[in-house]
Chain A
Amino acid sequence: MATVQIHNQDKTPAPKGETPVPAKKATASSPWTLFGKLFLLIFSAVSLWSLATPLMAFPDEPAHTIKAAAVVRGQITIEEGTSFGHGVHVRVPAYIANLHAQDCFKFRQDTAANCAPAIPSDANDEAIGVTSAGSYNPMYYWIVGLPSLLLTGQPALFAMRILSALLSAAFYAAGFTALAQLRQPRVPVLMASLAVTPMVLFLAAGINPNSLEVAATMAAFCGFVVTLDNAHRVRHVLPAVVTVIASTVVLANTRQVSLVWLLCALISGVLLFRGAEIKAAFRNRLVLTGAALTVPGVLLGIYWIYLMLHAPANSGVAPEGIANPQPGVSISRAFLTMVEKAPEFLQQYVGVMGWLDTPVPTAVVMLWSMVFGVAVLLPMLIRPFKTTLGAWAALAMLIFVPAILQASIWKSMGFVWQGRYNLPLVVVLLIAVGMTARRLHFPQSAGAQSVARVFLWSAVFCHLLAFAFVLRRYVVGTFGGGNWHAMINGVQWQPPLSWFLLTLMYLAVMVTAASGLFRFLFPGAVLVQLPRARSRRRDS
């Protein structure tokens, strides 16, 4: 049986009749301009999700919103006697303390969002709020909580979401901008774009540090590999170095586990390059200065971990019905169970929105299943093997690191792991696969363009389908399925600007993104070929 092997070479000869277009041409604009464009595009997509999703419909959004309002009011650490079995008690405006009242549609896919009570703008008396995020790092919450000092009611909550979306969009944009500075950026950028699943965009739109964690890990990884890729000319990729510094500091202070994702990203990144490049990078004064700049931020993150390890204990015992301890389960069994479940998380990487109550349609999952299939298989075909180590390491870490983390808390907390926690590693895996394949010749033929067109239009369709499907779930409920007609004649809940306008805007953003990506992959070509343009081309 013949074995298909694709050889990774630094200088792949261009096939006859095809002139490889340097990626530089596709990214002719300055990094800042590119960043600005990408930021606008990503922020538009994410903020449309922010508007399309009912308030408090993101996983654990009430707990994170309450924490944000508390942190920005100076309640940063856990004070003695304020921690109880169900969470930490804080003092926040009454309308924020009562956000758990919005839970009537939680876990109920058939229930439209109009069941939720209105959020008052005049309930600003200080009240007790309960947050299960009491021990999380305060940085993200302090920033996201700021609008609650200036606004009240729903406007404040939307503004908090939008601010969170801004943060995530900035890091995604920085990551893509950095990636575009690779010497061979096409495949990595393509894979990074595919890593932005509907779930990644959805998550970025809510109040939850998980969003920033995914975005900052992506940015850190992209900046890091670009720095290594340009180890002998680091000065030319300064934005990438800055991206690594900012992402590292942010990750160290986003969630306690974020440092683990950062470490995984760095390991995978290092394994993608040769020793000489790594040595050169770490001998570079700019890189060393950047690394030094991250130290205070990282130390701050570590100090927070230390503080929380010594935080006042719960006033009561961890009660039944809140935690679900399983003291009888051995750690090895818990670990193996998680490893066995690893493929089952795939659907959650693609899209299980809401409170894990709104899985996206199967068609959407199928498209990304294909992408993940390629991600796993492609490194097997690439030679030499050592150039694929980073991708294999990323895959191994995606399977084993969450398993280790979950197994370590299984006895005390039971099975709590969700697929969205793995998204930082998922993004790293897909980009790492793109990196292993970066030196492959990227065909520019008409046939390749047609294949890419079909695939990108499919991706646009799947993104749009996921968006509209989630909207339907909240606008009319998805009871029984097949009730799209009710979106016209049976609307029960409307998001700001109406579901129809939001969907049109989302389509426009997705088409713009796909067109941009297509132009990047095939400089000079366009995704949308108008009939007149096509016939003109034929005539010429």
Chain B
Amino acid sequence: MSVLATFLSACAAQTPAGTVEGALIGIGTVSQQGAVAAWAKNWKKDHAGVSIAYSPDGAEVGKTALTNGLSYFAAGDAALESGTASNGQSVCGRDGLISVPVAVVPVGVAFNLDEIQNLQLDAPLLSGILRGKITKWDDPQIEAANPGVSLPSIDVVPVLEKSPSDVTHAVNKYLAAEAPGLWPDSSGSEWPSGTVRAIGEKVSDVAQKVEETTGAIAVLDTAIIGSRFSVARLKFGDVYQDFGNESTLAAIAAGETVESVPRVVEQRLDGSKGYALAVLENQYFCTRYRNEATASLVRSWGESVLSRQGQRDAIVYSSSLPPSEQTTAAALKQVRAITTDKG
């Protein structure tokens, strides 16, 4: 056997010392799939000896896998709550998990009213449309929000995605906050009961239906919207905000960095300064890993994601916007504290 090993060893090249290497395994939301691919590209440029496998099975599946030692990171669309953050002590050490924001993905209300390209909606109006209570585009309530716009007397056709999604979660949160009492207090990723029947199997089906149907309206993320659809201005508090990267970047810059739960960093958006309906992408890591090789692998990933280049790649390849500088600094501090010593 030793002869065989010697012969076969002759074929093997030497491993450069001091480089990060290993397989990074992550599980999380579908919406982070594109960004993870963009970050991976940048990360692998710096570390040739790494690979990444990301399975978009959802945030809850990801968190469970992380705390069961079946993945090295998880991805979700909300910061961890204090109870969850302290989970997984047997695998992740006594401090449990850390949670950091990694990207912000604007969500727009896309519509197809042929030549009409400017429309304003507030949360009660959007709630009425999605619950099927406002059924005509020339409804007096919509007209009141859009003075000077000649709205057609055609049916409003809400097109909603059937499967649970981060976009639905973001809209649920927005409507529950801005239209209290009109929208069920839902923090889930599915449309609450009372919403019009969802018809799109996949988000691509939703987009196609909107494109084909005059009078259609849907909520879609910025990557899908691109320059394909007209998008409504939305009301946050008392102010209508334009949909767009600049507007959302303003909401991010003015938003708070919250660290109320230990090892959990949260990015808030300020709707008074910019467009604040967005998916807040987060990643979750263990505070401690079984060995230094894994800890350095995960640290290196987190640093790469939060680096300027990583964030630039995310904008270019997946239309994700970076968290604020303050939030990024706080997130990096948590990532750099990832260690190997089990507590």
**Separation of A119 and B53 alpha carbons in the complex (Å):** 18
With A84-B61, A155-B4 known as contacts, the answer to whether A320 contacts B53 (CB < 8 A) is: no
**B291 on interface, CB distance cutoff 8 Å:** yes
**A327 on interface, CB distance cutoff 8 Å:** yes
| Chain B proximity of A84: nearest CB distance (Å) | 4
Asked if B58 contacts A317 (CB within 8 A), the reply is yes
Asked if B11 contacts A84 (CB within 8 A), the reply is no
With A98-B50, A118-B15 known as contacts, the answer to whether A316 contacts B70 (CB < 8 A) is: no
Asked if B15 contacts A319 (CB within 8 A), the reply is no
Which 6 A-B residue pairs are closest in the complex by CB-CB distance? A316-B57, A155-B8, A154-B12, A496-B11, A101-B51, A120-B15
- Enumerate B195-231 residues with CB–CB distance to A below 8 Å: 201-202
Proximity bits, A113-154, B CB within 8 Å = 1, else 0: 001011111110111111000000000000000000011011
| Chain A proximity of B71: nearest CB distance (Å) | 7
**Separation of A87 and B293 alpha carbons in the complex (Å):** 23
Contact with B51, one of A89, A103, A118, A317 (Cβ below 8 angstroms): A103
Proximity bits, B55-79, A CB within 8 Å = 1, else 0: 1111001001100111110000000
Asked if B8 contacts A315 (CB within 8 A), the reply is no
**For residue B202, which residues in chain A have a CB less than 8 angstroms away from its CB?**
320
**For residue B13, which residues in chain A have a CB less than 8 angstroms away from its CB?**
118, 154
**For residue A94, which residues in chain B have a CB less than 8 angstroms away from its CB?**
22-23, 293
State the interface size on chain A (CB cutoff 8 A): 49
Asked if B8 contacts A154 (CB within 8 A), the reply is yes
**Separation of A322 and B56 alpha carbons in the complex (Å):** 9
Asked if B21 contacts A98 (CB within 8 A), the reply is yes
With A98-B23, A117-B21, A321-B56 known as contacts, the answer to whether A316 contacts B61 (CB < 8 A) is: yes
Proximity bits, B2-19, A CB within 8 Å = 1, else 0: 001101111111111000
| Chain A proximity of B50: nearest CB distance (Å) | 6
Contact with A319, one of B10, B57, B64, B290 (Cβ below 8 angstroms): B57
With A101-B23, A118-B13, A159-B4 known as contacts, the answer to whether A128 contacts B72 (CB < 8 A) is: yes
**B49 on interface, CB distance cutoff 8 Å:** yes
**B86 on interface, CB distance cutoff 8 Å:** no
**Separation of A117 and B20 alpha carbons in the complex (Å):** 11
**A383 on interface, CB distance cutoff 8 Å:** no
| Chain B proximity of A203: nearest CB distance (Å) | 21
**For residue B10, which residues in chain A have a CB less than 8 angstroms away from its CB?**
496
Contact with B57, one of A100, A115, A158, A317 (Cβ below 8 angstroms): A317
| Chain B proximity of A113: nearest CB distance (Å) | 11
Asked if A86 contacts B22 (CB within 8 A), the reply is no
Asked if A316 contacts B9 (CB within 8 A), the reply is no
Residue of B nearest to A154 (CB): B12
Residue of A nearest to B203 (CB): A320
**A81 on interface, CB distance cutoff 8 Å:** yes
- Enumerate A46-65 residues with CB–CB distance to B below 8 Å: 51
Proximity bits, A147-176, B CB within 8 Å = 1, else 0: 000110111101100000000000000000
**B182 on interface, CB distance cutoff 8 Å:** no
**Separation of A159 and B7 alpha carbons in the complex (Å):** 10
Asked if B12 contacts A155 (CB within 8 A), the reply is yes
Residue of A nearest to B19 (CB): A117
Asked if B9 contacts A97 (CB within 8 A), the reply is no
**Separation of A158 and B10 alpha carbons in the complex (Å):** 11
**Separation of A86 and B54 alpha carbons in the complex (Å):** 8
Q: Which of B25-33, B103-111, B138-146, B329-337 contacts A (4 or more CB under 8 A)?
A: B25-33
**A314 on interface, CB distance cutoff 8 Å:** yes
**A85 on interface, CB distance cutoff 8 Å:** yes
**B48 on interface, CB distance cutoff 8 Å:** yes
Residue of A nearest to B291 (CB): A125
Contact with A129, one of B16, B23, B69 (Cβ below 8 angstroms): B23
Asked if A98 contacts B15 (CB within 8 A), the reply is no
With A86-B53, A117-B49, A120-B15 known as contacts, the answer to whether A151 contacts B22 (CB < 8 A) is: no
> 15 A–B contact pairs at CB < 8 A?
A81-B70, A84-B27, A84-B55, A98-B23, A103-B51, A117-B49, A121-B12, A128-B25, A130-B23, A154-B12, A155-B12, A158-B8, A315-B65, A316-B55, A496-B11
**B294 on interface, CB distance cutoff 8 Å:** yes
> Which residue, B11, B13, B58, B71, has most C-beta atoms of chain A within 10 A?
B11
Asked if B58 contacts A316 (CB within 8 A), the reply is yes
Asked if B54 contacts A98 (CB within 8 A), the reply is no
Asked if A100 contacts B23 (CB within 8 A), the reply is yes
> Which residue, B23, B64, B69, has most C-beta atoms of chain A within 10 A?
B23
Residue of B nearest to A118 (CB): B13
- If A84-B55, A98-B49 are given as contacts, then 12 extra A-B residue pairs at C-beta distance below 8 Å, sorted by A number, are A85-B55, A87-B53, A94-B22, A100-B51, A118-B12, A128-B72, A151-B5, A154-B8, A155-B8, A315-B65, A319-B56, A496-B11
- Enumerate B231-288 residues with CB–CB distance to A below 8 Å: none
| Chain A proximity of B238: nearest CB distance (Å) | 39
Contact with B16, one of A84, A85, A118, A130 (Cβ below 8 angstroms): A118
Asked if A128 contacts B23 (CB within 8 A), the reply is yes
> Which residue, A103, A104, A119, has most C-beta atoms of chain B within 10 A?
A119
